[in-house]
Amino acid sequence: MPSSARVVHDRPGRSRSGAARGRIRRACAVVAAIAVSALPLVFAPTNPGVPECPTGLACHFVPAAYAADGNYDTADRPHDGNDIRYIVIHDTEETYDRTLGLFANPRKGAAAHYVVRSSDGDVTQAVRTEDIAYHAGNYWYNTHSIGIEHEGVLVDGARWYTDAMYESSARLVRYLAARYHIPLDREHILGHEEVPSATPKGAGTAHYDPGPYWDWDRFFALLGEPLRGDRPSPASAAAPPVPVPSVLTLVPPFDANAQPLRQCVRARCTDLPAQGSNVVYLRTAPAADAPLIGDPAVHPDGSPGTTEVSDWSAKAVAGQSFVTAGRSGEWTAIWFGGRLAWFRDPGGRLGVPGGWLGPMLTPRPGRTSIPVYGAAYPEAAAYPGTIPATDLAPLPYRIPAGQVYLGVAENPGAYYFARFDGTDTPDNHSVVTGQRRFWAISFNHRRVFVDARDVQALPGGRFAPD
Ligand SMILES: [Zn+2]
């Protein structure tokens, strides 16, 4: 959650829409029964005290407060139509106990489903997985994910992320992924930093946890799905470069990947101690002295990205996959955030063939550029009159014709309408599903959406696995 700012639950807009054309699904009877039988300001969870954890894991349930201001919404996932597609990894920037205390505050406006303790990997569940915790700062992602907080301070790096913590968290993620059929890959097991803002206004200030010192390489090895698969280790013989265009996965070796990083507090910047990281810096040209890639949301003045720890403009992250765009000497180019981005990769050790993750998508002929979105909400006409339509404004990026991005999944736009159980709100706890379809794509540091009508798969269709 909080890395520097408070988690914001992006509540929907208030504008009314026309007649309903979308499919409406209602939540479980249990929720409805609570709504009519009681009107306290704070509810107890439906099944307190019984944590959802794998057998043998030290795990407790300390409920987050459920209140009108909200730390979570009640739901009946996935049976109510809100499928759980992602697990989102966070760090707390707080102690374990203080984090649980914040979640118990009905005015906090944020909670995660689980918190993992640094010292011994102890796990506390705060929100049931059927419910929607406000952890990702993006309501669409909240609706479709489970959030796991890790006790730590991201600039302190490995000190907080202990063996016990990685092992407990990986056991929990394996259990949740099996239960909800979530693929164990980096397009579905995300860092909070990979979740976009749902709105253009928040695009430049979205959170950046768990940050550069979270060892995705190690985490995925513990999940039993190593990021490199059965491919050779970085120390072994050079491999031929990944063909262009095809899907490439970034696999920097964590311990040996000490990258320049600095922390700036009130314009005073200090270098962070050299240590292993998950960062791959991206440049505007195939040269070590070329500027880092900028980002229009982080640097609206057009200036380049920086090595500041909070500046995610030019940082790709271990395990992320992109489409190759070129090769020049020891440098490889990928399409990243609407730009051509270069990283040095002598011997093809850093970028390896991405395997089958999804189709390569490019703007349809006739489009000079297409918009991208931070959520996949239905068109306004899909909402019934009882449910305010949620605006979906494009993020401050465009994908120009000719660029290619990895498509992860295609789904119709959907929105879960939830209000406090203690209110008598028509159509409370229902899912609005639209006609408009979206592709989730790997875009820049974060994952975004494009309208399915705006893209087509590359001719020849699919990436052929090696
Ligand atoms: Zn977070």
Task: Quote the ligand 1 centre to 111 CA distance (angstroms).
Answer: 10
Task: Please state, in angstroms and rounded to a whole number, the distance separating the CA atoms of residues 322 and 334.
Answer: 6
E strands, 53-105, where? 59-61, 66-67, 72-73, 86-91
Task: Quote the ligand 1 centre to 329 CA distance (angstroms).
Answer: 38
Task: Quote the ligand 1 centre to 420 CA distance (angstroms).
Answer: 24
User: Is residue 440 a contact partner of residue 144, using CB atoms and an 8 Å limit?
Assistant: no
User: Is residue 172 a contact partner of residue 57, using CB atoms and an 8 Å limit?
Assistant: yes
Task: Quote the ligand 1 centre to 99 CA distance (angstroms).
Answer: 12
Task: Quote the ligand 1 centre to 205 CA distance (angstroms).
Answer: 12
Task: Quote the ligand 1 centre to 209 CA distance (angstroms).
Answer: 5
Q: What is the pLDDT of residue 256?
A: 95
Q: Please list all protein residues whose beta carbon sits less than 5 angstroms from ligand 1, which is an ion.
A: 1, 90, 192, 207, 209
User: Is residue 94 a contact partner of residue 152, using CB atoms and an 8 Å limit?
Assistant: no
Q: What is the pLDDT of residue 127?
A: 97
Task: Quote the ligand 1 centre to 128 CA distance (angstroms).
Answer: 18
Task: Quote the ligand 1 centre to 208 CA distance (angstroms).
Answer: 7
- Which position has the token pair 């990769």? 345
Name residue 422's amino acid: G
b/e sequence 181-218, b meaning 16+ C-beta within 10 Å? ebebbbbbbbbbbbbbbbbeebbbebbbbbbbbbbbbb
Three-class DSSP category at 364: coil
Q: What is the pLDDT of residue 294?
A: 98
E strands, 65-191, where? 66-67, 72-73, 86-91, 114-116, 123-125, 132-133, 145-150, 189-191
CA 330 to chain centre: 31
Task: Quote the ligand 1 centre to 387 CA distance (angstroms).
Answer: 29
pLDDT in tens, the chain (466 residues): 433 333 333 333 322 222 222 333 322 222 222 333 333 344 444 556 789 999 999 999 999 999 987 899 999 999 999 999 999 999 999 999 999 999 999 999 999 999 999 999 999 999 999 999 999 999 999 999 999 999 999 999 889 999 999 999 999 999 999 999 999 999 999 999 999 999 999 999 999 999 999 999 999 999 999 998 777 666 666 778 888 999 999 999 999 999 999 999 988 999 999 999 999 999 999 999 999 999 999 999 999 999 999 999 999 999 999 999 999 999 999 999 999 999 999 888 899 998 778 999 999 999 999 999 999 999 999 999 999 999 999 999 999 999 999 999 999 999 999 999 988 899 999 999 999 999 999 999 999 999 999 999 997 544 433 3
Q: What is the pLDDT of residue 85?
A: 98
Could you tell me the domains of the chain?
A: 4-205 (3.40.80.10)
Three-class DSSP category at 125: strand
CA 146 to chain centre: 10
The shares of helix, strand and coil residues in the chain, as percent rounded to the nearest 5, are 15, 25, 60
90 phi/psi in degrees, rounded to 5: -125, 165
Task: Quote the ligand 1 centre to 239 CA distance (angstroms).
Answer: 36
Task: Quote the ligand 1 centre to 210 CA distance (angstroms).
Answer: 7
Q: Name 361's bridge partners.
A: 405, 457
Task: Copy the structure tokens of residue 349.
Answer: 């050790």
What's the DSSP call for residue 181?
Answer: T
What's the DSSP call for residue 393?
Answer: P
Task: Please state, in angstroms and rounded to a whole number, the distance separating the CA atoms of residues 269 and 285.
Answer: 26
Task: Please state, in angstroms and rounded to a whole number, the distance separating the CA atoms of residues 207 and 187.
Answer: 18
User: Beta 86-91 vs 430-442: how paired, if at all?
Assistant: unpaired
Task: Please state, in angstroms and rounded to a whole number, the distance separating the CA atoms of residues 295 and 305.
Answer: 7
